[in-house]
Amino acid sequence: MQSVLIVIHILIVIALVAVVLLQRSEGGVLGSGGGSGNFMTGRGQANALSRATAILAALFFATSILMSIIAGWSKAPHSILTRGPGAPASQEAPQPVSPGNILDQLKQLQGQSNAPAAPVAPAAPAPAPAPAQKP
């Protein structure tokens, strides 16, 4: 169903672009050769092209809304906090983070991931260099 709707949507887009390009420009500012062709001249054709543009635009919006509704039906609701973007669905969810603001939660998570396995002893200070003697 979704792929059929996508094909219909693409056909509507192509037709809409073609109809807009066939329309005669009313202002001479943007195009210098807009009125030189004899293909679609006359008021009746202009009204038909305007009506076709409006109909195709309405169909474009309708198919866009239908595609978004269909895409929403196939997704199961989930929380972005319980599962990361690359994690598989079968993976066990991590423990919930303690309440607080987001900055505190990030600091807590960073502290857990960067915690060393054993405490590191501080390095011994380097001896000061001896003053140079003049001969």
* Cα(134)–Cα(56) distance, integer angstroms: 94
- Residue 75 CA to its chain's centroid (Å): 17
Confidence at residue 25, expressed as pLDDT on a 0 to 100 scale = 72
Confidence at residue 58, expressed as pLDDT on a 0 to 100 scale = 96
Query: Which residues, at least 6 apart from 96, have a Cβ–Cβ distance to it below 8 Å?
Result: none
Tell whether pTM > 0.85.
no
CA neighbor of 67 nearest in space, from 14, 11, 17, 4: 4
CA neighbor of 57 nearest in space, from 27, 16, 3, 98: 16
CA neighbor of 12 nearest in space, from 51, 50, 59, 68: 59
In the chain, domain spans? 2-24+43-73
Write out residues in the chain with pLDDT < 50, as ranges: 97
Confidence at residue 104, expressed as pLDDT on a 0 to 100 scale = 77
DSSP 79: -
Confidence at residue 54, expressed as pLDDT on a 0 to 100 scale = 94
Tens digit of each residue's pLDDT (9 = 90 or more) over 5-20 = 999 999 999 999 999 9
